[in-house]
Amino acid sequence: MKTLTYAEAINEAMKEEMRADENVFFIGEDIGVYHQGKGPSGASIGMLEEFGPERVIETPIEESAIVGGSAGAALCGMRPVIEIMHSEFLCHCFEHVFYGGTKGAVMTDGHAFPMVIRAPYGGKTNGQLVQDENNEGWFNAAPGLKIVAPSTPEDAKGMMKAAIRDDYPVLFMEHKGLYKEKGEVPEGDYVIPLNKADVKLEGEDVTVLTYGRMVHVALEAAENLKKDNISVEVVDLRSLSPLDEDTILDSVRKTKRAVILHEARRSGGIGGEVAAVIAENAFADLKAPVLRVTCPNVPANFPPTADDVITAVRKVLG
């Protein structure tokens, strides 16, 4: 094992896949020369120097052209990895993601459509109005689009490699508050399936289901609740579409209580889909209603805290 930051893990995954497959290329705004060669997210270090401007393509500020052109390249056999500077800017290319990226395979009689869209999301400060959006839910209805949100460097690298190798579009959500977080990463080549959740902490009394930076908030809450002999199981969804229903239901049936945690607003969030899975398949197993801990439905971003999770856990325990 070695220690990498979240950004370094993504960088390493992209480099390894570009070395292995000459059809993989990297495209986006300010990913080469600007930001001291690190790119907006810090995940572009050394890429322009190693692969050159033909495979590390800096673009004007035009997300629609970036994603639309990449969709065309994917249809022609290339494997684009796109970096959108902030996930809010996906609104400028929604049509290409929704129709070109996800319906393209159907409209071309099953033709492969490999395309990874890296989308930095979320924030670390309360009350910020711009460039801190948690908009993964916007695309949850897109048919055939895989949506993932890794929480650790190990998961980020393994899932990025799997996403690049996948023959269909993947929206790769990267929380901005995680880029400098360090963690152990396996040596050598490995992939992590794009449709599997991961139990980050086993427990007996209540299940907290979450993803991205909120995994770390959930683990902090679980550690504090140990002092009161409350055992929390933390399930990292990792894959938001499709959901790993088996892991979700196995955990909830074991603990018989569920708290769903995400940084996005309550309305239209992934949490509603998770709650529906539980209600439709494990309602009889529950000892308390499912609770959601989210940002309120307000314009600014107010991420939940460990104290919010603790309050919800105590409530479902009665």
pLDDT at 65: 94
pLDDT in tens, 125-149: 554 677 778 889 888 988 889 999 9
Least confident of 12-21, 122-131, 201-210: 122-131
Per-residue pLDDT at 96 exceeds 90: no
Regarding pTM above 0.75, the answer is yes
Per-residue pLDDT at 197 exceeds 70: yes
Per-residue pLDDT at 161 exceeds 90: yes
User: Which amino acid is located at 4 in the chain?
Assistant: L
pLDDT at 298: 87
Closest CA to 118 of 84, 152, 69: 84
pLDDT in tens, 239-289: 999 999 999 999 999 999 999 999 999 999 999 999 999 999 999 999 999
State percent of the chain over pLDDT 70: 96
**Hey, what are 6's tokens?**
């979240």
pLDDT at 6: 98
Domains in the chain: ranges and CATH: 2-185 (3.40.50.970), 198-317 (3.40.50.920)
pLDDT at 128: 62
pLDDT at 46: 94
pLDDT at 121: 93
Average predicted confidence (pLDDT) for the chain: 93
pLDDT in tens, 30-77: 998 776 667 888 899 999 999 999 999 999 999 999 999 999 999 899
Residues 296-312 have a mean pLDDT of 92
Strand duo 182-185 + 146-148: pairing: unpaired
